[in-house]
Structure 1
Amino acid sequence: MSRTYRIGIIGCGGIANGKHMPSLKKLQNVELVAFCDIIEDKATEASEKYGAADSRVYTDYTELLKDDTIDIIHVLTPNDSHADIAIAALESGKHVMCEKPMAKTAADAARMVEAAKRTGKKLTIGYNNRFRPDSLHLKKLCEEGALGEVYYAKAHAIRRRAVPTWGVFLDEEKQGGGPLIDIGTHALDLTLWMMDNYKPKVVLGTSYHKLSQTENAANAWGPWDPAKFTVEDSAMGMIVMENGASIVLESSWALNSLEVDEAKCTLCGTEAGADMKGGLRINGEKNSRLYTTEVDLSAGGVAFYSGSTEDAPDVEMRAWIKAIDEDTDPVVTPEQAYVVSQILEAIYESSRTGKAVYL
């Protein structure tokens, strides 16, 4: 790395403390110098735990953005504020990592893409599941053509009973949706990336409010309040791409299913298939016999940090800073993330109207 980068954090809640700040703190060439949250105590606590000696605390992000010594901003706020904050940060001359999903609406995501192009600053979205060892290995196989043409895929984001009951997760106005936009977005991003296909043609979707009104429900984080559960409890989509490939997307926070998978995909190609169920498995036919191979991912490195045993967020942050330092495209480009937002919005629209949505 050629220099040390100064980073500002906007939004010091769960994802900041659980992912961004711990991973950034491990990097020797970054300093966390500014922390902003509408709850000042959260920003102060983050500054004391992760901040550099000269770090400052804010409750107004516009004041933070006036600091010209800051190089990079991480936007870690509720979905409805992603676009405005990210665009303001780009216009202030800073590179931006924004947590997933890119924005509450596709229109806002498009504004973010335009701002990045106009300002010449880098913008990426926090799809950290691309950086898992199984994801990186499968992506390499796809790039090498081991699966051939991938023409059918499934994006999995199914929880049996794991509804997030804190923050604004259940607030449709703040978030734009429930499990589809929260965890379905990870599975869809992963699937499109593996297929290297970002040209959707038509989307058909359904969303459900079947279990959200359950009183005293069994749940990983305790019962939810039905009165506050204004988003869907599950949503499904069918996406047909311009080249004829199709993707089934399944997402839920609460579903009567024992088949539970999150941020995983199944790929079916002309030469072989792959899935992430119970580990990475490759299947196909050779010498007139079917085969299944389970890939051992217990050893070896990843594409961005040879020999690494780091968690995906650590690899993600290292790759992000490296892209800035070397002036290359980030692994997750804003154009790719925009397509994810388009498809998610189309699933919601299709569910509301009962009609297919053409993109």
Structure 2
Amino acid sequence: MSKPLKVAIIGAGGIARTHVPGWQASPYTELVAAADPNPEALSEFGRRFGVERLYPDAGEIFADPSIDIVDICTPNRLHAPLVLAALEAGKHVLCEKPLAPTPEEIRSMIAARDRAGKLLMTAQHFRFKASSQAMKREIEAGALGDIYHARAWMLRRNGLIATPTFIRRELSGGGPGIDIGVHILDLTLWLMGNPRPVSVSGVSRTALATHDGAWAVWQDTPIPKDFDVEDFAAAFVRFENGASLILEVSWLLHHDTENEDMQLWLYGTEGGCHWPKCEIYQTNYATRQLYNRSLRLTKDSMEPHAAECVAFAKAVYEGLPSPVPAEQSLQVITILDGIYRSQKEGREILLDSLAPIVPIEVMRAAA
């Protein structure tokens, strides 16, 4: 094997630390640098993972010709400018979810990716769980037939991180829709085969976060008064192939769960299924029998955040397609953006998920 690919991480906070084991486990990569404007976080990251090249300015990473891959683990609103800068500097890019809070930003990333001829991937780690991979194989083998309806939710009873990067729209781009909705929606669309969404009717509201005494149980702290995103969102989505989807997400909900309830159901012409139980439900019409079967699952061979990094490194090294194409992330964000628009306008929104990708130079000129 030729020399390993050099990796640099931008953003030395909590999520970056789940990526490091993947870069360290891959035979194709070597983690050599990190950047973060917070000197304490950057220094601690360097000590913990043995990274010596530490920069307060991400520009130094882009200017380093030895860096092959940039892993972006920053607040949501910083994703787009950093991804664009990395691609324009000739780097392959793995970016934490959401790839960007708006469809327009993702279109600009796709255009930059194509100009650079590099790989771009969104870190959607639930795709890399053993249960998700097993269900995907069953669906591709025809166990469900044509999928025509889905139900999906990711609901927390009282679970959020009450820091500005999550609860301030200027940094996050949204609340649980952008934060956790992106997880369950991406997984559902991927299992459905990523049909093209054509319309969404949605609601998003702040129902409990501003309640007197509301608190973030994960930190055991009061929810700040500058909370300005939704705490609940729901939608009905139609697809070009006639399929439909009901989606519900929340950080705060009077729901029967102690922590988090993440489920999806798919219904097809030959069967249905549930994830994460990984059960398949089918009918024998000749014998008038209903039967269920459970998939025999192996344990995750690697924590999914690490596994996604290993998969991306392999794709870069071997010249394979991106494991999570940006076009699929564009579908996800087009739907989530449609929910916010639907709430604002009080009507069903027709989606332009296949609108032409606008070059970033044109967007800048228009701005």
**TM bucket normalised to smaller:** over 0.9
CA distance in 1, matches of 2:103, 2:222: 29
Aligned to 2:329: 337
Gaps of 5+ in 2: 352-367
Q: How does 1:33-72 map to 2 (within 5 A)?
A: 33-52=32-51, 55-72=52-69
- Contact 2:273–2:279 under 8 Å retained in 1: yes
Stretch deviating more after TM superposition (157-166 or 219-228): 219-228
1:167 positional shift: 5.0
Aligned to 1:270: 269
Give 3-state SS (helix, strand or coil) of 1:228's partner.
Answer: coil
Aligned to 1:227: 225
Aligned to 2:140: 143
What TM-score do the two structures reach when normalised by structure 2?
0.90
Residue 346 (str. 1) matches residue 338 (str. 2): yes
1:243 positional shift: 1.2
Aligned to 1:85: 82
- Contact 2:134–2:295 under 8 Å retained in 1: no
- Residue 238 of structure 2, aligned match among 237, 240, 243: 240
Give 3-state SS (helix, strand or coil) of 1:134's partner.
Answer: helix
Runs of 4+ in 1 over 4 A off after TM superposition: 259-263
- Contact 1:157–1:262 under 8 Å retained in 2: yes
1:2 positional shift: 4.6
1:295 positional shift: 2.0
CA distance in 2, matches of 1:47, 1:198: 42
Which letter does structure 2 place at the counterpart of 1:7?
V
Higher relative contact order (CA 8 A, sep 6+): 2
1:87 positional shift: 0.8
Residue 13 (str. 1) matches residue 10 (str. 2): no
Which letter does structure 2 place at the counterpart of 1:274?
C
CA distance in 2, matches of 1:224, 1:340: 31
Would the alpha carbon gap of residues 346 and 153 (structure 1) be closer, same or farther in structure 2, given more than 3 Å must change? same
Which letter does structure 1 place at the counterpart of 2:264?
C
CA RMSD, 1 decimal: 1.7
Would the alpha carbon gap of residues 345 and 337 (structure 1) be closer, same or farther in structure 2, given more than 3 Å must change? same
Stretch deviating more after TM superposition (120-129 or 282-291): 282-291
CA distance in 2, matches of 1:285, 1:252: 34
Residue 132 (str. 1) matches residue 136 (str. 2): no
Stretch deviating more after TM superposition (25-34 or 35-44): 25-34
Residue 123 (str. 1) matches residue 120 (str. 2): yes
Aligned to 2:291: 291
CA distance in 1, matches of 2:320, 2:27: 20
1:261 positional shift: 5.3
Gaps of 5+ in 1: 300-307
- Contact 1:153–1:248 under 8 Å retained in 2: yes
Aligned length: 347
- Residue 93 of structure 2, aligned match among 89, 96, 103: 96
CA distance in 2, matches of 1:323, 1:147: 29
- Residue 279 of structure 2, aligned match among 265, 278, 281: 281
Give 3-state SS (helix, strand or coil) of 1:64's partner.
Answer: helix
Residue 318 (str. 1) matches residue 310 (str. 2): yes
Would the alpha carbon gap of residues 2 and 143 (structure 1) be closer, same or farther in structure 2, given more than 3 Å must change? farther
- Residue 357 of structure 1, aligned match among 349, 358, 364: 349
CA distance in 2, matches of 1:347, 1:288: 41
Which letter does structure 2 place at the counterpart of 1:350?
S
- Residue 106 of structure 1, aligned match among 98, 103, 106: 103
- Contact 1:35–1:44 under 8 Å retained in 2: no
Stretch deviating more after TM superposition (141-150 or 253-262): 253-262
1:119 positional shift: 0.7
1:258 positional shift: 1.0
- Contact 2:16–2:73 under 8 Å retained in 1: yes
- Contact 1:215–1:223 under 8 Å retained in 2: no
1:217 positional shift: 3.0
1:58 positional shift: 1.0
Aligned to 2:188: 191
Which letter does structure 2 place at the counterpart of 1:76?
C
Stretch deviating more after TM superposition (156-165 or 213-222): 213-222
